[in-house]
């Protein structure tokens, strides 16, 4: 049995590592760059930019061994028909969903600002999932795709920890997937929110899942997979 050092205790990997997928949540220009939605909300986007090298390191490791990779994008149709008023009208930012900003319409599918940042651009064969909600299972076919590929274990990265990452991890846990959050490959505009989320997810013996670091994941996966190449 192969395990990764994690909290609250070791995370067990399946015998077939093709059952493990790296999930990269919403690493979009709208959230990480100046002029995007995160910036319009008054947030310091540099906090999220800091995790890019770590996420890229994990992405390259999974690519090296041809393991499943899933990218998600929070976005809406141009006519906003999939954006409920409860979401559209909330907040007091200078720009709202659908408004024209420096990188095109905010959180609209296909707009420049809605693209994944260049450093993490998906490659052919990697799943790219557009989602209208915070969670990646809401009004998408993600669960069906995971079952078709035999994926049982999900390793989570991306932004923001307390919103889209946590929501998706909770959704996945309810559906029976074994969930591991990579602490240094996720972040929030508010450091205290990230800290609280990590504590909640792994509380009570891992009520939602486990947490670890990128180095722990790579230090275990690389030797195991190298022997199988």
Q: Look at residue 228 in the predicted model and tell me its pLDDT.
A: 64
**Among residues of the chain, what percentage have pLDDT more than 90?**
89
CA dihedral of 129, 132, 134, 140, whole degrees rounded to 10: -50
Per-residue pLDDT, averaged over 134-158, amounts to 98
Domain spans of the chain?
15-28+51-87+125-226
Active site residue 83: no
- Does the pLDDT of residue 28 top 60, yes or no? yes
Annotated catalytic residue: which of 19, 20, 26, 96?
26
What percent of the chain has a predicted confidence (pLDDT) above 70?
98
From the list 164, 179, 184, 194, the catalytic residue is 164
15-28+51-87+125-226 CATH pick, 3.40.120.10, 3.40.50.300, 3.40.50.850, 3.90.400.10: 3.40.50.850
Note if the bond before 8 is cis, omega within 30 degrees: yes
Helix or strand (DSSP H, E) at 16: none
pTM comes to: 0.97
Catalytic site includes residue 174? no
26 carries an active-site annotation: yes
Residue 138 pLDDT greater than 60, yes or no: yes
């Amino acid at each position: 049995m192969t395990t990764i050092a994690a909290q609250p205790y070791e995370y067990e990997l399946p015998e077939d590592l093709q059952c493990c997928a790296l999930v990269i949540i919403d690493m979009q220009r709208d959230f990480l760059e100046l002029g995007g939605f995160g910036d319009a909300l008054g947030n310091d986007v540099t906090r999220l930019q800091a995790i890019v090298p770590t996420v890229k390191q994990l992405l390259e490791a999974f690519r090296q061994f041809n393991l499943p990779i899933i990218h998600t994008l929070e976005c809406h149709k141009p006519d906003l028909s999939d954006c409920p008023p409860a979401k559209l009208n909330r907040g007091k930012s200078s720009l709202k969903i659908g408004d024209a900003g420096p990188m095109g319409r905010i959180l609209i599918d296909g707009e420049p600002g809605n693209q994944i940042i260049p450093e993490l651009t998906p490659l052919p064969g990697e799943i790219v999932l557009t989602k209208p909600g915070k969670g990646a299972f809401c009004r998408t076919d993600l669960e069906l795709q995971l079952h078709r590929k035999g994926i049982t274990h999900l390793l989570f990265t991306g932004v923001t920890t307390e919103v889209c990452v946590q929501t998706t991890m909770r959704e996945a846990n309810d559906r029976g997937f074994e969930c591991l959050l990579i602490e240094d490959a996720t972040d929030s505009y508010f450091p205290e929110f990230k800290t609280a989320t990590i504590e909640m997810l792994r509380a009570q013996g891992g009520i939602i899942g486990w947490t670890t670091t990128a180095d722990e994941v790579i230090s275990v996966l690389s030797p195991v997979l190298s022997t199988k190449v």
